[in-house]
Amino acid sequence: MKYWVSAWPAFNGFVLPVMVCLFFLLPLPAPAGEDTLSKEQKLTLTHAAAFSVVTAWGIANWDYFDRDPHRESEGWFSKDADEGGADKLGHFYLSHLLTRIMAHTYESWGYLKKDGALYGALSSFGIMTWMELGDSFSEYGFSHEDFIMNALGSLAGYFLHTNPALSDIIDFRFEYRPRFDELDIFTDYEHSKFLMAVKLDGFDGIKNNYLKYIEFHLGYYVENLSSHEKERNVYVAIGLNLSKIFKNLSMDRMSVLTRYVQIPYTYAGTDLK
């Protein structure tokens, strides 16, 4: 077993994901005339903007429409898979995150919680499916594995959003250390970790206040993707519930962010070999 403490540089491992999540999670100034739009009109405009951004990004960075549509099998988490399966968890995480973000946004527009969660899940799945269809016109090809993980992530987001008690226990998070010579937060899987955190604070039976700041992690990451020594690592860790700490400090925005982004230096764990 390999023991370690998370020690990625603070900027690399934390600031960029926070900036990305800030864009989606924190309130932005309302465009002029927004109050005159109905919630249905806002929903339509949001979808139009999202699909346009995905298309533009795909053309600029992922070679969309460079070839005829085709399908590829990517091998799930096998050692022969190009990304060692990390990309599958990336699809799950992003689908889950988009569902939660959009559900929250739709609720703020006046949708009921359950309706907001449903539309959030459908929006997330629709956007991710559009991305996958774009992949079919690129070197990547349409992947049924990605399609399935997109569906599972959207379902997980819906289920957690409509079950607050379970959401108080479980977080799905992402930790990232970017490469500044080739920055691509969406596909740089070798510098990513994906994890599920189980927070003791969510269990009613835990009465000790100190234990409520403890959480347990189950995560996955890959290393050496470009060599014959490719590593696929499952790890367990114990960490601090930063969301609870920030909430107690009345830093509500940071409390929300740390439910989706894992900050380095705040947990210690071991790889399972």
Mean pLDDT of 184-208: 85
Domains of the chain: which residue ranges?
3-25+42-68+82-272
Per the CB < 8 A criterion, the answer to whether 146 and 88 are in contact is yes
pLDDT at site 36: 85
pLDDT for position 183 = 55
- Has residue 19 got a pLDDT over 70? no
Given a cut of 70, whether residue 258 has pLDDT beyond it is: yes
* pLDDT, tens only, 98-148: 999 999 999 999 999 999 999 999 999 999 999 889 888 888 888 899 999
Is the pLDDT reported for residue 237 higher than 90? yes
How high is the pLDDT of residue 223? 81
Name 247's Cβ contacts closer than 8 Å, sequence gap at least 6.
Answer: 255
Task: Please determine, for residue 181, whether its predicted confidence score (pLDDT) is greater than 90.
Answer: no
Encoding tokens for residue 218?
């189950």
User: For residue 12, what pLDDT band results from cuts at 50, 70 and 90?
Assistant: very low
